[in-house]
Amino acid sequence: MTILVAGGSGLVGSAIVRELERVNKKVIGISSKDLNLLDRARTFSFIKELKPNVIIDAAAKVGGVGSNNAYPVEFFSQNLQIQTNLMDAAHEAKVEKFLFLGSSCIYPRNCVQPIKEEYLLTGELEETNSAYAVAKIAGIELIKSYRKEYGYSWISAMPTNLYGPNDNFDLENSHVLPALIRKFVEAKRNNSAEVVLWGSGTPLREFLHVDDLAKAVLVCLDKYDSSAQINIGSGVEVSIKDLATKIAEQSGFSGKTIWDGNRPDGTPRKVLDVTKITELGWKPLISLDEGITTTVEWYLENK
pLDDT (tens digit per residue) in 213-259: 999 999 999 999 999 999 999 999 999 999 999 999 999 999 999 99
Report the relative pairing of strands 97-101 and 155-159 from DSSP bridges.
Answer: parallel
> Is residue 174 over pLDDT 90?
no
N- to C-terminal Cα distance for the chain?
36
CATH topology assigned to domain 2-166+207-235+270-286: Rossmann fold (3.40.50)
Does the annotation mark 152 as catalytic? no
The one catalytic residue in 71, 107, 119, 132 is 132
Q: Write out pLDDT tens, residues 23-67.
A: 999 999 999 999 999 999 999 999 999 999 999 999 999 988 788
Q: What are the tens digits of pLDDT across the range 120-132?
A: 999 999 999 999 9
Distance CA 54, CA 290 (A): 32
The pLDDT, as a whole number, for residue 75 is 97
Residue 100 has pLDDT above 90, yes or no: yes
Q: Which of 195, 182, 156, 183 is nearest to 277 (CA)?
A: 156
Span 139-164, mean pLDDT? 98
pTM of the model: 0.95
Given a cut of 90, whether residue 171 has pLDDT beyond it is no
Higher pLDDT: 60 or 268? It is 60
- Amino acid 112: pLDDT: 95
pLDDT-above-70 percentage for the chain: 100
Spatial distance between the Cα atoms of 180 and 169, rounded to a whole number of angstroms: 9
- Per cent of the chain over pLDDT 90 is 92
Tell me what the pLDDT averaged over the chain comes to: 96
Question: How far is residue 172's CA from residue 118's CA, in Å, rounded to a whole number?
Answer: 33
Q: Residue 66's pLDDT is what?
A: 82
pLDDT value at residue 84: 98
Over residues 158-168, mean pLDDT? 96
Q: Is the pLDDT of residue 173 over 90?
A: no
Q: Is the pLDDT score of 264 beyond 90?
A: no
